C-alpha cells in the first residue's frame, strides 16, 4: 500500500494496535491507523522509556500518512499541551527495577470532570482528593461533579460546601432526574473535557444525558460489594458539538497521581497555598517540621482535618516505587 499525503489528525480511540483518528480538516471521517515502525523504534531507544507505558494516547495530535486504501500510518506525535496520568497498576507497570510506570490516560485536555457520588457507591473523600490532585498536578482545570443528587443527605451537603469553599468549581447533578445538566452543558461547551471517576458513580449515565445519541452502556452497583462494575472498557473521545469533545474513561479502582515529590505535594492542595509561604523551611512537607504554616493553620481551625488527613495519606505513598528522571 503506497503512502500518499501527510495530514494532521487527532486520536479518538485505541483498540489494540489500531489507532482510530479523525483528520483535523474533516472530523466527520474516522480512519484506522497503525504506528509507523520508525516511531516505535525511536520510542524504544528513548532513555526514559521505562517511565511510561504509552507512545500515543487519546487526544494526541498526530501526523498521518494516508494509504491508497484509506487507512493510515501515524508517523509523528506532536508535543502535548498537557496529559492526565496516574501510576500504572502494578500488573501493567512494574519494571524489573521495581518502580511504577506512568500510565497516560489522555492528552490535550481543557477540563477534567471528576465524578463522584455520595451513595451507591459510598463517598470516599480520600479517593476524590487523589483524582483532584492528579488533575491539579497536570495543569488541567479540574471540576468536581457530585452525581446522584436525588440521594443527597445532610452529610452530602457538608462535603459539597467544603470543596466549594476550598475553591473548586463544584456541580451538583442527577443523571437520573436531569437536575444540573444545563450547568454541565455550559461548562463543556467549546472544550475538550475528560470525565474520570470510580466505577459506578454514573459517568456513562451523565454522558448519555448530555448526548443521548452516544447510548453508552451503564450498569447497576453490585449489591455484594457496593462497588461499580466496569461498563466502559477503553478511553474514547466523542464529538458532541462544534469544538466540543468529551472523553469517556473506564471506572478506576486504584488512583495514585504520578510524578509528584513529597516537597511539592502540598502545592496541589489549593487551600494550603496561602500558608505554605509561612513555613520556616522551603522543603517543608507539612508533616513534622517546626515552624510549619500549614500545621499552624490546621491547629487554628483554618483548614479541614479531613483534607489534611487525605494529604498525609497521600504523602506516605507519593514517592513509593518512583525513580525521578
72-119 pLDDT tens trace: 999 999 999 999 999 887 655 455 445 667 889 999 999 999 999 988
Domain boundary among 224, 248, 272: 248
**Lowest pLDDT segment from 98-102, 121-125, 315-319:** 98-102
Q: Are strands 192-197 and 111-117 parallel, antiparallel or unpaired?
A: parallel
Q: Are residues 154 and 215 in the same domain?
A: yes
Average pLDDT over residues 149-176: 93
Q: Are residues 244 and 290 in the same domain?
A: no
Domain boundary among 26, 45, 79: 79
Position 53 scores a pLDDT of 58
pLDDT band of 42, cuts 50, 70, 90: low
Q: Is residue 85 part of a domain?
A: no
Per-residue DSSP letters for 37-105?
A: HHHHHHHHT-TTGGGBS-SS-TT-EEEEEEETTS-EEEEEEPPPS-EEEEEPPHHHHB-TT-PBPEEEE
**Rounded CA gap, 107 and 110, in Å?**
9
**Rounded CA gap, 223 and 214, in Å?**
27
Tally the domains of the chain.
Answer: 3
**Lowest pLDDT segment from 92-101, 121-130, 170-179, 269-278:** 92-101
Q: Are residues 153 and 75 in the same domain?
A: no
Say yes or no to pLDDT of 325 above 60.
no
Give the CA distances from residue 48 to residues 42, 53, 107, in Å, rounded to whole numbers and listed in that order: 12, 11, 19
Q: Is 175 exposed, middle or buried (0-12, 13-18, 19+ CB in 10 A)?
A: buried
Q: Please give the model's pTM, rounded to 2 decimal places.
A: 0.88
**Lowest pLDDT segment from 11-25, 49-63, 70-84:** 49-63
φ and ψ at residue 114, rounded to 5 degrees: -90, 115
Say yes or no to pLDDT of 47 above 70.
no
What is the SS3 assignment for 21? strand
Q: Are residues 59 and 116 in the same domain?
A: no
Give the CA distances from residue 258 to residues 43, 98, 118, in Å, rounded to whole numbers and listed in that order: 20, 15, 26
**Rounded CA gap, 286 and 266, in Å?**
8
Q: Are residues 227 and 269 in the same domain?
A: no
pLDDT band of 224, cuts 50, 70, 90: very low
C-alpha cell at 170: 463544584
Q: Is residue 93 part of a domain?
A: no
Average pLDDT over residues 308-325: 80
**Rounded CA gap, 229 and 232, in Å?**
9
Tell me what the pLDDT averaged over the chain comes to: 86
More confident residue, 15 or 224: 15
Q: Are residues 61 and 125 in the same domain?
A: no
Q: Are residues 31 and 132 in the same domain?
A: no
Percent of the chain past pLDDT 70, that is, above it, reads: 84
pLDDT band of 222, cuts 50, 70, 90: very low
CATH of the domain at 43: 2.40.50.140
Average pLDDT over residues 308-312: 97
Say yes or no to pLDDT of 173 above 70.
yes
Please name the helix (run of DSSP H) or strand (run of DSSP E) that holds residue 265, with its range, or none: helix 262-265
Q: Are residues 226 and 188 in the same domain?
A: yes
More confident residue, 139 or 154: 139
Q: Is residue 188 part of a domain?
A: yes
**Lowest pLDDT segment from 55-59, 62-66, 153-157:** 153-157
Q: Is 300 exposed, middle or buried (0-12, 13-18, 19+ CB in 10 A)?
A: exposed
Say yes or no to pLDDT of 225 above 50.
no
Neighbours of 68 (CB within 10 A): 9
Which of 50-64, 97-111, 122-136 has the highest mean predicted lDDT (pLDDT)? Answer: 122-136
Q: Is residue 218 part of a domain?
A: yes
Say yes or no to pLDDT of 219 above 80.
no
Position 18 scores a pLDDT of 94
Q: Is residue 322 part of a domain?
A: no
CATH of the domain at 243: 3.40.50.300
Q: Are residues 244 and 266 in the same domain?
A: no
Give the CA distances from residue 163 to residues 75, 99, 132, 199, 300, in Å, rounded to whole numbers and listed in that order: 43, 33, 11, 21, 19
Say yes or no to pLDDT of 223 above 70.
no
Q: Are residues 302 and 177 in the same domain?
A: no
Q: Is residue 95 part of a domain?
A: no
Domain around 55: 3-79
Position 244 scores a pLDDT of 94
Amino acid at each position: 500500500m503506497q503512502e500518499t499525503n501527510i495530514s494532521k489528525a487527532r486520536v479518538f480511540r485505541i483498540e489494540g494496535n489500531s489507532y482510530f483518528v479523525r483528520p483535523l480538516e474533516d472530523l466527520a471521517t474516522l480512519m484506522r491507523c497503525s504506528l509507523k515502525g520508525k516511531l516505535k523504534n525511536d520510542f524504544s531507544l528513548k532513555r526514559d522509556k521505562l517511565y511510561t507505558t504509552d507512545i500515543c494516547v487519546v487526544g494526541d495530535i498526530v501526523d498521518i500518512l494516508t494509504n491508497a486504501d484509506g487507512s493510515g500510518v501515524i508517523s509523528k506525535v506532536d508535543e502535548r499541551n498537557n496529559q492526565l496520568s496516574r501510576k500504572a497498576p502494578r500488573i501493567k507497570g512494574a519494571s524489573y527495577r521495581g518502580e511504577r510506570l506512568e500510565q497516560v490516560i489522555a492528552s490535550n485536555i481543557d477540563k477534567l470532570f471528576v465524578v463522584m457520588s455520595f451513595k451507591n457507591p459510598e463517598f470516599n473523600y480520600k479517593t476524590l482528593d487523589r483524582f483532584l490532585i492528579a488533575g491539579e498536578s497536570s495543569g488541567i482545570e479540574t471540576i468536581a461533579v457530585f452525581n446522584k443528587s436525588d440521594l443527597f443527605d445532610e452529610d452530602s451537603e457538608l462535603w459539597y460546601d467544603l470543596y466549594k469553599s476550598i475553591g473548586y468549581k463544584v456541580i451538583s447533578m442527577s443523571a437520573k432526574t436531569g437536575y444540573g445538566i444545563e450547568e454541565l452543558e455550559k461548562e463543556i461547551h467549546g472544550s475538550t473535557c475528560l470525565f474520570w471517576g470510580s466505577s459506578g458513580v454514573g459517568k456513562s449515565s451523565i454522558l448519555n444525558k448530555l448526548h443521548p445519541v452516544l447510548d453508552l452502556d451503564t450498569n447497576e452497583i453490585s449489591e455484594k460489594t457496593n462497588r461499580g462494575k466496569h461498563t466502559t472498557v477503553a478511553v474514547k473521545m466523542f464529538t458532541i458539538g462544534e469544538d466540543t469533545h468529551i472523553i469517556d474513561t473506564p471506572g478506576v479502582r486504584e488512583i495514585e497521581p504520578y510524578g509528584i515529590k513529597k516537597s511539592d505535594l502540598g502545592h496541589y492542595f489549593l487551600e494550603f497555598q496561602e500558608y505554605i509561604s509561612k513555613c520556616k523551611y522551603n522543603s517543608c512537607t507539612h508533616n513534622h517540621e517546626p515552624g510549619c504554616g500549614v500545621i499552624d493553620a490546621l491547629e487554628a481551625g483554618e483548614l479541614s482535618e479531613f483534607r489534611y488527613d487525605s494529604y498525609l495519606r497521600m504523602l506516605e505513598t507519593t514517592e513509593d516505587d518512583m525513580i525521578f528522571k
